[in-house]
């Protein structure tokens, strides 16, 4: 990211549902890894979790607001 000057990243919620990976586990992994990355790096300023349906958004929402302490925007 740093060498290319990127300041944000979009993280799509793929493999949830279609490939039967448990949604709750996928959200927990994605959010905790993003949180760890942001804590260890000063490059990225924005992570967008791309949810393809309402069920995914509802799964991400409490984890994102609980870990990051910020409001979730739809």
Residue 41 lies in a domain: yes
- Reported in sequence order, the residue ranges of 1-74 that DSSP labels E, i.e. its strands, are 8-12, 46-50
DSSP code of residue 63: H
- Per-residue model confidence (pLDDT) at position 44: 80
Count the neighbouring beta carbons within 10 Å of the beta carbon of residue 74: 6
For the stretch 20-36, pLDDT in tens is 788 889 889 999 988 88
Residue 51 lies in a domain: yes
* Total tally of structural domains belonging to the chain: 1
Q: List CB contacts of 34: < 8 A, sequence separation 6 or more.
A: 11, 47, 49
Q: List CB contacts of 19: < 8 A, sequence separation 6 or more.
A: none
Range of the domain at 41: 2-68
pTM: predicted TM-score of the whole model, two decimal places: 0.77
């Amino acid at each position: 990211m740093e060498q290319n000057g990127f300041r944000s990243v979009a993280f799509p919620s793929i493999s949830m549902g279609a490939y039967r990976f448990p949604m709750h586990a996928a959200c927990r992994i994605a959010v905790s890894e993003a949180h760890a990355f942001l804590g260890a790096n000063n490059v990225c300023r924005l992570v967008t979790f791309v949810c393809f349906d309402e069920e995914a958004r509802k799964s991400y929402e409490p984890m994102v607001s609980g870990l990051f302490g910020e409001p979730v925007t739809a």
